[in-house]
Amino acid sequence: MYLTNECEVVWFREGLNPDDAADYGLQPVIAVTLNVAKMGIYHQKLYAAQDVIPLTNFLYEAWSERDDMGGLPDVLYADKELLEHYPLVEIIRELDPAGCIQEVVTRGDQSFAGSKRQAQKESLIAIDWHRNKKNPIPITREELLAVLNSNLFKYHRSVTSSMRMEGSPERRKSLIELKQRPHRSPAKPVSNYGIITNNWMMKQALSVPTMAVTQTIFEISNYGWIQYLELGYDTDAQDDDEDEDPEGFDYGYPERTTGYVWHNERPGFKDFIESLPLAMDKLSDLGMV
């Protein structure tokens, strides 16, 4: 998911490498997520990658305003990178001076990995057009993110309510036990630790191959300020007029000047090919490129 300079949000079916996003003037969106283990209860907010993420406030809101999350947990599972690069322990001590959180664990089990995968899917709720069609068109980036985060907040609260009535017997029992447990509210923070976007937060996006020189962007659905896109190959590249979107959605397709782009190349493969004493057209005739 990315933001445009025109205060729009775009989503790519296959993902988009951040290097390509920069070429098109797109800004990555970071989803910060907290959930109750094995319960399907999520608290999630979206931030622009260029902004400082107010992690202290995010955790305080989750444990104080979301009564369905049960307040401070006994154990907090976290990405090891978050613990290594940011003052997470100091944040926890400030929010939990009584020591309710007994352990911060980075060796997540299968349910932790599954929660991370599900969190990526949860973020799509924010751009569901049925939830946005009655909203006024955002005119600033702050308004845009506020609308998306409001969608997430309302949705996640409604999911918890529906689970109480329609969830499995085991899930309903767990929800009752969570509700009956004394709500342990966090202390109001004095400081506001923020975290800066790091590459580890975009591991999945960085794993997407950079676009081949012949690839371009195609539109799947256009809802005005919400766009669903995919990567493809332009079979009519010689017709410049057809490259322009009739609705005015056009990134200008930057020219690439880096030479050949090797799709899914192996480390060192490009250097090896370029070191061969054969012209590129001869390699092509041999079916090597």
DSSP string of 18-48?
HHHHHHTT-EEEEEEEEEETTTTEEEEEEEE
For residue 43, tell me if it sits in a domain. Answer: yes
Provide the token pair at 248: 């005015």
Max Cα distance, the chain (Å)? 74
pLDDT in the model for residue 114: 73
Q: Is residue 36 part of a domain?
A: yes
pLDDT value, residue 238 = 46
Q: What is the pLDDT of residue 120?
A: 81
pLDDT for residue 273 = 58
pLDDT of residue 222: 87
Residue 253 lies inside a defined structural domain of this protein: no
- Centre a 10 Å sphere on the Cβ of residue 65 and count the other Cβ atoms it contains: 12
CA distances 21 to 1, 156, 275, Å, are 10, 29, 30
Structural domain including 180 reads 28-202
Please tell me the predicted confidence (pLDDT) of residue 56: 93
Contact in structure between 238 and 22 (CB atoms under 8 Å): no
Confidence at residue 82, expressed as pLDDT on a 0 to 100 scale: 85
Q: Are 52 and 159 in contact (CB under 8 A)?
A: no
| Per-residue pLDDT at 150 | 92
The strand pairing partners of 222, in sequence order, are 227
State the total domains in the chain: 1
Instruction: Please indicate, yes or no, if residue 70 is contained in any of the structural domains.
Output: yes
Number of alpha helices (DSSP H) and beta strands (DSSP E) in the chain: 11, 8
**pLDDT for the residue numbered 206:** 86
In a domain, 58, yes or no: yes
Assigned token pair, 171: 């899930």
73 domain-assigned: yes
Is residue 102 included in any domain, yes or no?
Answer: yes
- The answer as to whether 264 is a domain residue is no
The pLDDT of residue 85 is 82
- Which DSSP symbol is given to 195? B
- How far apart are alpha carbons 34 and 79 in whole angstroms? 11
- Per-residue model confidence as pLDDT tens for the chain (289 residues): 999 989 999 999 888 999 999 999 999 999 999 988 777 788 999 999 889 999 999 999 999 988 888 899 999 988 888 888 888 899 999 999 999 999 988 866 666 677 777 888 888 899 988 888 888 889 999 999 999 999 999 888 887 766 665 666 777 777 777 777 788 899 999 888 888 877 778 888 888 999 998 888 998 988 889 999 999 887 665 455 444 444 444 444 344 434 444 444 455 555 655 666 555 555 444 444 4
